[in-house]
Amino acid sequence: MLQISIRRNFPVKALSVFLAIVGWAYFRFANDPIITARFDQQLSVPITAANLQPGYIARFTEKTAAITIEPKRGEPAVRPDEVKAVLDLGKFGPGIYNVPVQLVAPSVVVQKLTPATVTLTVEKIDQRTFPVAMYYGGQANVVVAHSTITPSGVTVRGPTDELAQVATVRIDMPLGGSQNSLDAMIRPLAVNSAGEEIPDVQVVPNLVRVQAQFLPATGAAPAATHSP
């Protein structure tokens, strides 16, 4: 009789036992942080300056932000190009500032942002006009009979402090070889008093045309420099 009682409505009874086990497991483990933990997503995105007033430049060393976000359950991972790390510089003039990093991103929970702020310098952009000087180097078996630079002057733009370091704008032209003439586009360099190039300034135009005629040396050393 007992076996008949168990077998009667057996599928219904088995389903009831299964649902009871599922319900017990849910209430037992639903609040367990190990069971419910989700993998946070980590991104690295560039830091950009926005709304800077015309005629100014922002200089800062920290170029990327590390972001840890909590993705929404059931949704695909956030792409790095969907997240922007922005420094809003609309209200800043020349000076040194500590600016918070603002995130432009989909609706996500940000767990961690590094760095949260960036120290930067806002500087005014100035410009000056310089004549282009030609510097010769290389073998002494030729002399320059004639040379021209077109244009003979260039504009140098950059932060005020960097622009003040520019001593001259020059073109380095090696001498020697079998050629007896030169007609080429060469990049002029803005250099300081020690002859070192200043990287944070812009020379406009960035190429000038150099034309020169060479003659064999007859005992006289070639000139070291030439300014048009």
Q: Is residue 209 part of a domain?
A: yes
- Among 66, 90, 115, residue at a domain's last position: 115
- Among 87, 115, 143, residue at a domain's last position: 115
Range of the domain at 139: 125-226
Greater model confidence, 217 or 29: 217
Query: What's the CATH number where 137 sits?
Result: 2.170.120.40
Pair 110, 131 in one domain: no
Tell whether the model's pLDDT for residue 111 goes beyond 90: no
Q: So what's the pLDDT on residue 41?
A: 85
Q: What is the mean pLDDT of the chain?
A: 81
Q: How many domains does the chain fold into?
A: 2
Q: So what's the pLDDT on residue 77?
A: 79
Q: Is residue 64 part of a domain?
A: yes
Tell whether the model's pLDDT for residue 9 goes beyond 70: no
Strand partners, 122: 58, 95
Phi, psi of 140 (to 5 degrees): -105, 25
Greater model confidence, 92 or 178: 92
pLDDT bin (cut points 50, 70, 90) of residue 79 is confident
The residue behind tokens 């140098």 is 156
- Among 115, 150, 182, residue at a domain's last position: 115
Q: So what's the pLDDT on residue 110?
A: 83
Pair 66, 48 in one domain: yes
pLDDT bin (cut points 50, 70, 90) of residue 14 is low
Pair 86, 129 in one domain: no
Q: Which of 211, 209, 208, 163 is nearest to 190 (CA)?
A: 163
